[in-house]
Amino acid sequence: MRTTVLFSLIIVLLSFGACQQPQQDIEHSTDTKIDSLISLMTIEEKVGQLTLYTSDMDQTGAYIRKEYENDIKQGKVGAIFNAYGVDYTRRLQEMAVNNTRLRIPLLFGYDVIHGHRTIFPVPLAEAASWNIEAIQHAARIAAIEASAEGLHWTFAPMCDISRDPRWGRVVEGAGEDPFLASLIAEARVKGFQGDDLSDPTTLAACVKHFAAYGAPQAGRDYHAVDMSENMLREVYLPPYKAAVDAGAVTAMTAFNDLNGIPSTSNKFLLTDLLRDEWGFEGFVVTDYTSVMELLYHGVAADTAHAAALALEAGVDMDMQSGFFHQTLPKLVEDKIVDESLIDQAVRRILKVKFQLGLFDDPYKYCSTTREKNEIMQADQLEAARDMGRRSIVLLRNEAQTLPIPQHIKKIAVIGPMGNNKRDMIGSWSAAGDWSKAVDLVEGLKARYPLSEIVFVKGCEIDGEQTEGFNEARRAAADADFVILALGEAYWMSGEAASRSQIDLPGVQQQLAELIIGTGKPVATVIISGRPLTVNWLAQNSPALVQAWFLGTQSGHALADVLSGDYNPSGKLPLTFPRNVGQIPIYYSMKNTGRPFNENSKYTSKYLDVPNTPLFVFGHGLSYTQFEYSHLALEQETYTLDDSIRFEVELANTGSFAGEEIVQVYVHDQLASVTRPVRELKAFKRVWLEAGDSKKVNFSLHPESLGFYKIDGSYGTEPGRFTIFVGGDSNAGLSTEFELR
């Protein structure tokens, strides 16, 4: 009798391969289906859903380890990552669907961080665009391409605030500011997941790394994080919260410990905060082997103890360590772990699979037609090019060195980043093919077909050899315009890529001094995944451009900006320090009881370097000039129920049409808890033709001026506030209002 009931339920619940589920299934809620399915599962099958293993790659292509293949066929694996390509993912899915007792489909995940095949600028670069719509569109294209190759799930967005450019993973985030980063986190989630997760062009998003992974001591990856709860809640948590509120259906634990508790065993983070306080209903996956790493943190005695700690804290899926797989059935048998915790985790994972439509059709993401027709199409490449030029930040432009004259005869491109394809697509470049990237020389040749473009490498990215210097000097002397293409290799930023010094690697600085010393018009282009300490260049290079790693269309995007076909509008999302001794340095610091005073020694400052950074947060020049004036509040006094409305006049006083990012900062003059000197609260992108002006209107709600008070509650206190408006965080135009 039990066998008959079992198979009847399976047939009703899991009607694979049909265009629609039976009518009786449709009438049941997803939760009812999941509960019914869980009731049929053995403990081994349940734990299988909690297990995530990797696919591998060798010279012959993707493959699955034999032991994992056996586990898939026995229902002991619920998800696979690093597997993509329709033929390959279909073969793995068939292993699960055709061989397991309950025919539960696999979930396929991958690090689709800034594009899949069409590679967009690295996330920090995209953040420099301050263009939320373009960032969402980039994520949408990434989801279309990745899902066309059989993927269901991306380990993105990374929502980690970071104020330490030594940390290599600044390249994956949105910089230092919680307001800007929150908008970007929301946009990425919406781009990946679309309006309906069952649409086969969407990906399930994953909020990572929860939490405060971007604040490791000494800027060293994986290191401990220790901070007050006020700092955690006001600065580091908002982007994660924004991603959760945007509907992200999965979240990933961080490698670090937070105030002494590893994130992967941190019940406060994963249950009390994420689920109970924020209402997150998706599932939590660990980062790579981080359950195992509880042993090295020194909080778990053995494999079983680590698994129990993680599960009880709120982890649902174990990435790669295999500790859940190895220990949970025995822990349940010995009554050390309550099986209801496993049921709860299974329920969350199955719900995402239902949301993706995998129970309707496990092969819905296995379309060879889509794989052929929806990857690296012309519109996708154009979107990457557009995102690239929006991400470029003009740091310095003395005597209007840029743009390059239109009818230039000879351009010399000098430096190791000039004809460099591999580094253009940056780290975490997913399935991107660097050989298809457009380098700087190619971009310039396409833009200036009648000009002579000469390339001389000069030196390697990282090395002490200077044999190429003489050739580089001769090329510069013979050219009408010189572009110095300098930077760091793609592997110098990203995971496990922290640097104690963030100067230009190798002898690139010496090469720059030699070439700039020729007196020729020089524009230095820095290609990197983080802010670099480039003090000499900031003072001596006539033009200085922060180009980041711009992706597949790098060369074209750079040529668009260098030529003036596109007027740069990017703004820095992360402060550039003068040297590493200033780190952490960020615009929203606090005054201290002894604010800086250059005439008094006993104030907060250094003896050997100014307090100010090399380039401030929000900095970015244009080929035109913008002037701000007539900042005016609608009224001078507001209540907590009012909207604080004000306007500023922006004028384009130069000779180019251009876009300015108008930034609004607020300072709370008197509060029960010390407040930052400035906080970004709003911004708008404004396009103006040369000679035009426009009144730009803003409205702030008093709730946005709130903070966590002494008693731990969040709210806005009455008092006086200063509003600053301008083109960067040093905005000088200000006015005051009172909140009653």
- Separation of alpha carbons 294 and 277, rounded Å: 25
CB 297 within 8 A of CB 314: no
- 655: number of CA atoms within 13 Å, CB side? 3
E-state strands within 614-705 = 626-633, 637-638, 644-652, 658-668, 679-688, 693-700
SS3 label, residue 62? strand
- In sequence order, the 6+-apart residues with CB closer than 8 A to the CB of 63 are 55, 56, 57
Cis peptide before 211 (omega within 30 of 0): yes
Helix (H) or strand (E) holding 532: none
Catalytic residues: 287
Cis peptide before 157 (omega within 30 of 0): yes
- Separation of alpha carbons 678 and 734, rounded Å: 12
SS3 label, residue 735? strand
- Separation of alpha carbons 541 and 545, rounded Å: 10
Give the DSSP letter string of 347-373. Answer: HHHHHHHHHTTTTT-TTTT--HHHHHH
**β-bridge mates for residue 52, sequence order:** 79, 319
Nearest to 385 by CA among 119, 136, 685, 114: 119
Handedness of CA 301, 155, 434, 402 (dihedral sign): negative
Cis peptide before 262 (omega within 30 of 0): no
Question: Looking at residue 596, what DSSP letter applies?
Answer: -
Question: Looking at residue 115, what DSSP letter applies?
Answer: B
Our CA angle for 529, 621, 572, nearest 5°, is: 35
Nearest to 278 by CA among 239, 238, 244, 232: 244
Residue 688 backbone dihedrals phi, psi, to 5 degrees: -135, 135
Q: How far is CA 711 from CA 228, 277, 540, 561, 669, in A?
A: 13, 17, 51, 50, 20
**β-bridge mates for residue 154, sequence order:** 110
- In sequence order, the 6+-apart residues with CB closer than 8 A to the CB of 197 are 204, 249, 355, 356, 357
CB 708 within 8 A of CB 692: no
